[in-house]
Amino acid sequence: MNEETRDLIALVRNHEDRLEKIRASVDSALENEIKLLEKISASALIIAGLLENYYTCLETIFVRISQFFDNNLDSVRWHSDLLQIMTLNIEGVRAAAVSQESFPALFELLKFRHFKRYYFDLEYDWDRLDFLLLKLRKVHPMVGRDLDRFVQFLEAI
């Protein structure tokens, strides 16, 4: 195994740990700060920030995978293109890093991250946040399985 492949595996594993820490922080915030503050604008900012961080951490993995395999991305829609490309199993090149099962929930997190980053809203709809929290809880174990499969692929090349 070459050095670049080892580095990519290390990055994926490191970011998997970060994803778990962010997910645990969501649980902790819901159990502590959100219970204390209740579902108000200030507590929504906590959850919104953690959801944004989760997807950004995951997207960092995807960017590195894309760079490693020289995937071309449209400069205008690169965030959504990147997620879509990660679902592709490119025969003779690379395995998919995101399963079709994981894609819909990750796409919801991507849309929210885009909204949060570019519209600078400080008022978040708790119904929407609760929906996204359900998506996060559902997709987090799937992301772990997807990334484990991808690392197994890297170890085999």
The answer as to CATH 1.10.3470 being correct for domain 3-156 is no
Q: Give CA separation, 13 vs 72, 76, 112, 129, 136, in Å.
A: 24, 29, 25, 28, 19
Per-residue pLDDT tens over the stretch 15-53: 999 999 999 999 999 999 999 999 999 999 999 999 999
pLDDT 10s digits, 91-131: 989 999 999 999 999 999 999 999 887 776 668 899 999 99
Domain boundaries, the chain: 3-156
Question: Residue 77 belongs to what H/E stretch?
Answer: none
Band of residue 76 on the pLDDT scale cut at 50, 70, 90: confident
For the whole model, what pTM was predicted?
A: 0.94
